[in-house]
Structure 1
Amino acid sequence: MPNDPREALVELAKKVAVEAGEAVLKVYDQGDFDEYTKDDESPVTSADYLANDIINKRLIEATPDIPILSEENKHASLEERKTWDRYWLIDPIDGTQEFIARSGDFAVNIALIENNEPVIGVIFWPPGQSLYYASKGHGAFKEAPDEHKQINVRQLDDPHDSVVMIAISRRQSREKVFSRMSAKRIYQTLPLGSCSLKACFIAEGKADVFMRLGITGEWDTGASQCIVSEAGGSILAANFEPLTYNQRNTLENPDFVVLGDQRVPWNDIVQYDKGAKE
């Protein structure tokens, strides 16, 4: 990322994400962790808290002037958050259910938000030893064993006719997924776990679209949005309106879609039903 004023922060986020991810992977491999249920009935584990502690400690040490908003921290009020020109947005483990189910589809997410926009995104997939990252205006990249490359969304041979690859949850039925898509196209599916990994696979051209219905937080999309956007795609609310960050009392996202090739008429393909459930 030549001449990127945020380069030092990207390198910091990469280092911290890998450190937290390696600690989580050790717990995962040993299978020795505690499970809890949060007030919203979503699962959390001692591994989530371990990753959160590592990330908070390292970021506070290196950037004490940048606030942190993490899924597993106590959340500041909107009144306080409105004073933040920039802040770290953290999901210590995206895919906690996958971690518990031992599918391997979980990741550490770190984003930097400036003026309500994700400008740095770092996602580390510990079991895959893959690190995805981006900085606004400087492209998206992937580092893995024997691999370091810039990544881009897949360009379909024919945006109006080519087969579309849909990233779906391992626990979703193909019929339910296809019911959300126009019958005028032919589809294939790629089963994956966490939201951020689906987004990363779209960013590197392994899938074309993913729709998420159900409760997620801004930390679920911050890092992904920067990476996907820099790879030539987009993440939008499922009604095709922009996602927002740090502008509402709630930190919950609306239903959203991750889109690859921007030449594809996604408005004609994605059939969003606001009353549908994930």
Structure 2
Amino acid sequence: MLPYDAPLDALLALAKSTAEKAGQAVLEVYDKGEYDAYEKPDESPVTSADYLANDIIVSALEANTPDIPIVSEEKKIAALEERKTWQRYWLIDPIDGTQEFISRSGDFAVNIALIENNEPVLGVIFWPPGQTTYYATKNQGAFKECSEEHKQIHVRKLDDPKESVVIIAISRRQSREKVMSRMSAKRVYQTLPLGSCSLKACFIAEGKADVFMRIGVTGEWDTGASQCIVREAGGDIVAATFEPLTYNQRTSLENPDFVVLGDQRVPWEKLVQY
């Protein structure tokens, strides 16, 4: 059992093992194809696999860090009056990319973040079909771990930040034309279709893409782990207006539209048109 003020390296070990355990359970369900699907009040999908992952994660975190509160997409959320007193809390998305899980694209992930003083300071993203874990803690770098490799990762440094081809990660269900209409015509672009928000962020963190714009409803659990990983890899996640994202400061945990950015030398505010 870890205390409320446990060091980040101890909490990272817990978050990694927990995300991987939940992810393996989700993968078993995915491989069998036996689950129930439902529709939330906001018309977004949720499955019995989401609830299974949530139960595994919440049980492990409550057992090992009973004094650290938990916010989960699939758990009743405390009122702001209570939450605003928290200096530390876990922020989890049991399955990021539920629609990808249902459509069997394989692009879904388990996300666990630790928020400290309203900032993500620890992030773990486990991609079950790829058996890959991305993780980071504040000021300690970002890493990718799988059976083939365990290495520190960095955003792609464009050879010439004013001229290089920019790789845009887009949703498999997103119109390429709609995305391109928001990008400055002064650059050359390639697009890379992917599934969940967090996997797009991880691809940017490891240099496989350069930018991703998310237009639509998301929650703080969709960006917490990703933001820590991308920042530690040399990039950032900001609101589409280029204002900082905030955590646990509003009644609603709904995010604004946001942009995941790679190489910080690139004049992104001139390229991404919101």
Aligned mate of 1:107, from 106, 109, 121: 109
Residue in structure 2 matched with residue 276 of structure 1 by the alignment: none
- Unaligned 5+ runs, structure 1: 273-278
1:83 paired with 2:85, answer yes
Aligned mate of 2:208, from 182, 199, 206: 206
Residue in structure 2 matched with residue 158 of structure 1 by the alignment: 160
**Secondary structure at the counterpart of residue 55 of structure 1:** helix
Residue in structure 2 matched with residue 225 of structure 1 by the alignment: 227
Aligned mate of 2:29, from 27, 30, 45: 27
Residue in structure 2 matched with residue 234 of structure 1 by the alignment: 236
Residue in structure 2 matched with residue 215 of structure 1 by the alignment: 217
Aligned mate of 1:193, from 174, 192, 195: 195
How many Å apart are 1:194 and its aligned residue? 0.2
User: CA-to-partner distance for each residue in 1:132-178, whole Å, 9 max, x for gaps?
Assistant: 00000000000011200000000000000100000000111221111
**Whole-angstrom CA distance in 2 between matches of 1:18 and 1:203:** 20
Residue in structure 2 matched with residue 269 of structure 1 by the alignment: 271
User: CA-to-partner distance for each residue in 1:170-198, whole Å, 9 max, x for gaps?
Assistant: 11122111101000000001100000000
Aligned mate of 1:69, from 68, 71, 74: 71
Letter in 2 for 1:262: Q
User: CA-to-partner distance for each residue in 1:50-79, whole Å, 9 max, x for gaps?
Assistant: 000000000000000000000000010000
**Secondary structure at the counterpart of residue 178 of structure 2:** helix
**Secondary structure at the counterpart of residue 192 of structure 2:** strand
Letter in 1 for 2:163: D
How many Å apart are 1:260 and its aligned residue? 0.0
Residue in structure 2 matched with residue 135 of structure 1 by the alignment: 137
Runs of 4+ aligned residues of structure 1 deviating over 3 Å after TM superposition are: none
**Whole-angstrom CA distance in 1 between matches of 2:112 and 2:102:** 21
**Whole-angstrom CA distance in 1 between matches of 2:43 and 2:81:** 27
**Whole-angstrom CA distance in 1 between matches of 2:24 and 2:75:** 21
**Whole-angstrom CA distance in 2 between matches of 1:172 and 1:187:** 16
**Secondary structure at the counterpart of residue 111 of structure 2:** strand
**Whole-angstrom CA distance in 2 between matches of 1:226 and 1:174:** 28
**Whole-angstrom CA distance in 1 between matches of 2:69 and 2:77:** 11
Query: Normalization by structure 2: what TM-score?
Result: 0.97
How many Å apart are 1:5 and its aligned residue? 3.3
1:245 paired with 2:244, answer no
**Whole-angstrom CA distance in 1 between matches of 2:253 and 2:175:** 28
**Whole-angstrom CA distance in 1 between matches of 2:112 and 2:175:** 30
Residue in structure 2 matched with residue 54 of structure 1 by the alignment: 56
Residue in structure 2 matched with residue 275 of structure 1 by the alignment: none
Letter in 2 for 1:29: D
How many Å apart are 1:220 and its aligned residue? 0.1
**Whole-angstrom CA distance in 1 between matches of 2:106 and 2:89:** 29
How many Å apart are 1:83 and its aligned residue? 1.1
Residue in structure 1 matched with residue 148 of structure 2 by the alignment: 146
Superposition map of 1:3-42 within 5 A: 5-42=7-44
Letter in 2 for 1:149: K
**Whole-angstrom CA distance in 1 between matches of 2:174 and 2:222:** 19
Letter in 1 for 2:13: E
Letter in 1 for 2:93: D
**Whole-angstrom CA distance in 2 between matches of 1:20 and 1:172:** 28
How many Å apart are 1:40 and its aligned residue? 1.0
User: CA-to-partner distance for each residue in 1:17-43, whole Å, 9 max, x for gaps?
Assistant: 000000000000000000001111110
Letter in 1 for 2:176: R
Using the aligned pairs only, state the percent identity. 79
Letter in 2 for 1:34: D
Letter in 2 for 1:50: L
**Whole-angstrom CA distance in 1 between matches of 2:176 and 2:195:** 15
**Secondary structure at the counterpart of residue 103 of structure 1:** coil
